[in-house]
């Protein structure tokens, strides 16, 4: 019920507005026109049903002249019903007016005495005493609290339903998303269902071929079966189709590091021509050593220098095997090749991250030239006086000789200066030169000396 004074809600069991204190009015407002209408309706009914008098007949005859003087007017059934309704409506209006007057009188009495507990009269029956204004406020507040609780409960239920629908939708979307496929794939690997795992990872690749997670998952299938070669092929095939995909290169590098195949990282990056990729993985780049001088054939002792564009250590071998930090010789100074022969130097650079470069190699041939047979003076002949025999020895050689006709060796007498001819004898003098670097000997020079005294 709405208060007609202040517009507040009035509970059904209360007779006074809890806000403004106005008494509830359950009868319509009084309107003086209602009394007039009621009297007119009542007079119409009485006039319609009374016997027509002689004076009325005379007046009628004078007015119409041709009608029966003894006729009585009879109302139709519809007119009678309308008159009865009008009469009832007039009675209600009169009762309403009476009730309103009684209500106004009670209100004036309350204003005079200040008593809010007087009974209310308006329609002839006694009303219940009004409740105390504080009780009404407490009741109203209690109902508001209950209504608020119901509203909150309904709101929470609605929010819960919406949240449940959102969660269900998110779960469905997630299950069919790229990440959902990856998770399903790894779950299948744990269950050793490699066929299902391959299917899930393939679906993820179809959703987004540029992301590396699906390729990592496919490689994990083979790693779980100790097939590292097949796992490596997964990354190689992906990189071949996407040579500029930095994330794929990083995933492949992680694979090599995790499987202790760091040496293959340099092989992977050696074939990369994309500058963006190389800049992104620069920490893993290890440049192969450069040889100076370049490989070739030399006639003298050589010093081989090794350098690398990346910081780190260089290791080398001279026996043709692949070097490493464990099996090679650490390069600290130029490599000296001072003997004749063929040498294959293989070297590797290891950067600060411990990534070895690809192995570089160089083959060096040291072949010292063979000198001509040594020059020996004097020449072969007969001499009356003994002569001094000399051998011309070039730098880097040592001369050896014999005087009994046998071919000299390094075990023979070493030439250190002129040798005197024997007197009155025939002497076969033979000399050789031996290379001090490689020990190679020249051909022998032979001289036949005969000395006689006069």
Residue 402 φ/ψ, nearest 5 degrees: -135, 160
pLDDT tens-digit series, residues 332-345: 999 999 888 899 99
pLDDT tens-digit series, residues 276-334: 999 999 999 999 999 999 999 998 889 999 999 988 999 999 998 999 988 899 999 99
Nearest to 52 by CA among 39, 69, 40: 69
Q: Taking 90 as the threshold, does the pLDDT of residue 167 lie above it?
A: no
The answer to whether the CB of 208 falls within 8 A of the CB of 248 is no
What is the DSSP secondary structure assignment for residue 356, as one 8-state letter?
B
Which residues does residue 136 pair with via DSSP β-bridges, in sequence order?
none
Three-state DSSP class for residue 184 = helix
Write down the pLDDT at residue 339: 83
The answer to whether the CB of 365 falls within 8 A of the CB of 347 is no
Task: Determine the Cα–Cα distance for residues 37 and 50; give it in Å rounded to an integer.
Answer: 20
Which residue's entry shows tokens 């309704």? 85
The answer to whether the CB of 364 falls within 8 A of the CB of 370 is no
Which residues does residue 350 pair with via DSSP β-bridges, in sequence order?
313, 356
Q: Are strands 426-435 and 290-292 parallel, antiparallel or unpaired?
A: unpaired
> Model confidence at 57, in pLDDT bands (50, 70, 90)?
very low
Task: Determine the Cα–Cα distance for residues 414 and 349; give it in Å rounded to an integer.
Answer: 48
Number of residues assigned to the chain:
454
- DSSP per-residue string spanning 205-218: HHH-TT-SHHHHHH
Which residue's entry shows tokens 């992104």? 280
Tokens matching residue 270: 């050696």
> Model confidence at 126, in pLDDT bands (50, 70, 90)?
very low
Task: Determine the Cα–Cα distance for residues 141 and 254; give it in Å rounded to an integer.
Answer: 69
**Which domains does the chain show, CATH number per domain?**
1-131 (no CATH), 178-284 (1.25.40.10), 290-366 (2.60.40.10), 376-451 (2.60.40)
In this structure, the dihedral spanned by the alpha carbons of residues 42, 44, 47 and 48, taken in order and rounded to 10 degrees, is -120
Which residue's entry shows tokens 């063979």? 370
Whole-number average pLDDT of the chain: 81
Write down the pLDDT at residue 427: 93
Sign (positive or negative) of CA dihedral 176, 178, 183, 188? positive
Write down the pLDDT at residue 60: 44
The residue among 145 and 21 whose pLDDT is bigger is: 145
Which residues does residue 292 pair with via DSSP β-bridges, in sequence order?
305
Q: Taking 90 as the threshold, does the pLDDT of residue 368 lie above it?
A: no
The helix/strand count (H/E) of the chain reads as: 11, 16
> Model confidence at 90, in pLDDT bands (50, 70, 90)?
low
Task: Determine the Cα–Cα distance for residues 195 and 189; give it in Å rounded to an integer.
Answer: 9
The terminus-to-terminus CA distance of the chain in angstroms comes to 174
The answer to whether the CB of 182 falls within 8 A of the CB of 201 is yes
CA distances (Å), origin 126, targets 30, 120, 130, 253: 20, 6, 12, 98
The residue among 1 and 281 whose pLDDT is bigger is: 281
Write down the pLDDT at residue 80: 66
Lowest mean pLDDT among 32-46, 75-89, 361-375, 436-450: 32-46
Q: In what order do the strands lie in the sheet with 381-383?
A: 381-383, 445-451, 426-435, 397-402, 413-414
What residues contact residue 18 under an 8 Å CB cut-off, 6+ apart? 8, 10, 11, 133, 136, 137, 140
pTM score of the predicted model: 0.51
């Amino acid at each position: 019920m709405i208060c007609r004074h202040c517009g507040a809600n009035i509970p059904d069991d209360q007779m006074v507005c809890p806000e403004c204190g106005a008494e509830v009015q359950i009868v319509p407002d009084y309107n003086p026109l209602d009394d007039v209408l009621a009297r007119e309706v009542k007079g119409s009914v009485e006039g319609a049903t009374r016997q027509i008098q002689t004076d009325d007949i005379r007046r009628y005859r004078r007015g119409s002249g041709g009608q029966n003087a003894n006729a009585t007017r009879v109302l139709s059934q519809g007119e009678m019903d309308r008159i009865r309704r009008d009469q009832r409506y007039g009675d209600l209006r009169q009762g309403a007016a009476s009730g309103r007057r009684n209500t106004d009188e009670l209100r004036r009495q309350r204003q005079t005495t200040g008593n809010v507990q007087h009974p209310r009269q308006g329609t002839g029956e006694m009303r219940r005493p009004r409740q105390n204004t504080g009780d009404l406020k407490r009741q109203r507040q209690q109902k508001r609290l209950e209504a608020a609780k119901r509203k909150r409960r309904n709101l929470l239920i609605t929010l819960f339903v919406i949240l449940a629908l959102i969660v269900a939708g998110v779960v469905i979307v997630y299950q069919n998303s790229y990440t959902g496929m990856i998770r399903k794939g790894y779950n299948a690997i744990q269950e050793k269902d490699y066929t299902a795992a391959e299917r899930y990872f393939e679906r993820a690749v179809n959703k987004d071929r540029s992301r590396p997670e699906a390729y990592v998952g496919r490689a994990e299938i083979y790693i779980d079966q100790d097939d590292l070669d097949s796992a490596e092929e997964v990354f190689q095939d992906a990189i071949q189709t996407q040579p500029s995909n930095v994330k794929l290169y990083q995933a492949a590098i992680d694979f090599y590091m995790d499987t202790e195949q760091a040496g293959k990282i340099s092989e992977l990056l050696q074939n990369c021509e994309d500058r963006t990729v190389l800049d992104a993985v620069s920490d893993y780049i290890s440049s192969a050593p450069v040889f100076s001088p370049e490989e070739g054939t030399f006639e003298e002792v050589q010093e081989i220098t090794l350098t690398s564009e990346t910081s780190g250590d260089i290791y080398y071998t001279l026996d043709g095997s692949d070097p490493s930090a464990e099996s090679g010789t650490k390069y600290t100074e130029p490599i000296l090749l001072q003997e004749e022969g063929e040498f294959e130097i293989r070297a590797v650079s290891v950067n600060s991250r411990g990534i070895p470069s690809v192995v570089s190699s160089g083959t060096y041939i040291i072949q010292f030239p063979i000198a001509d047979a040594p020059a020996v003076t004097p020449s072969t002949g007969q001499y009356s006086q003994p002569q001094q025999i000399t051998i011309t020895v070039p730098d880097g050689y040592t001369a050896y000789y014999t005087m009994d006709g046998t071919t000299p060796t390094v075990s023979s007498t070493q030439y250190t200066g002129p040798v005197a001819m024997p007197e009155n004898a025939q002497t076969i003098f033979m000399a050789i030169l031996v290379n001090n670097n490689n020990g190679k000997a020249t051909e022998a020079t032979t001289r036949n000396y005969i000395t006689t005294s006069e």
